[in-house]
Amino acid sequence: MLHIYCGNGKGKTTAAVGLTVRAAGSGMKTAFVQFLKNGTSSEISQLRALGVTVMAAESCTKFTFQMNESEKAQLIAEHDTMLDRCRQLIEEGVQLLVLDELVGAYDKSLLSRDKVIELLDTAKEKGCETVLTGKEPAPELEERADYITEMKAVRHPYEKGTSARKGIEY
C-alpha cells in the first residue's frame, strides 16, 4: 500500500521515521531514502543501528533555490540513481520503503517523474509498503495512495523567530 504524509505542518518525516522503527522492530526489511536531504539528520544513525537501509542525496548540501544549474543537474542524477537502487531493493524483497521528501523532488522535477511512477507501480505489484513525504503531492501521486495524512500547521516557534533545533526539527 502507498502512504502519503503531506501538508505544511511539522511531522511528516517524523511520522515516516516512526513507521520505519515499528516495521524494523517487527522484523520487516526496511529502507529509508531521503531526497533533497543529505542524510545528516539526527534520526539517521538510529535507523542504521536498527538495520534499516539508509540512502540520502549526499550532494544536497544547500537549498535548491541556492543551487546553480550544474548543482541541480548533479542532484537530479543522484536522485535518479537512488530511484534505480530503490527498484533494486524492492526486487530484493524490501517490505517497507520510505521515500522522504520525494514529493518535493517530484514537484520541482529534480528526478525522473516516469521513474517514480514506475517505482510506485512496481512496489504495489511486489507488495512493498511505500511511504512518500512532502508538502503538496501531485494528483498522480495522490490517486495511487491508499493512505493520505495531512499535517496542518496551526502554530510553530519558527513564526516567532526560533531556529530549527537539533533533535527536534532535525
CATH superfamily of 2-160: P-loop containing nucleotide triphosphate hydrolases (3.40.50.300)
Confidence tier at 14 by pLDDT (50, 70, 90): very high
Confidence tier at 48 by pLDDT (50, 70, 90): very high
Gap between the terminal Cα atoms of the chain: 27
More confident residue, 113 or 153: 113
Kindly state the average pLDDT of the residues 46-71.
94
Q: Which of 62, 136, 65, 53 is nearest to 95 (CA)?
A: 53
- Could you report the per-residue pLDDT of 129-153, keeping only the tens digit for each? 999 999 999 999 999 999 999 999 9
Domain range annotation of the chain: 2-160
* % of residues, the chain, pLDDT over 70: 100
Question: What pLDDT is stored for residue 100 in this prediction?
Answer: 99
Q: How many other CB atoms are there within 10 angstroms of residue 41's CB atom? A: 18
Q: Which of 91, 114, 110, 88 is nearest to 101 (CA)?
A: 110
| pTM of this structure | 0.93
Question: What pLDDT is stored for residue 2 in this prediction?
Answer: 99
* Residue 159 DSSP symbol: G
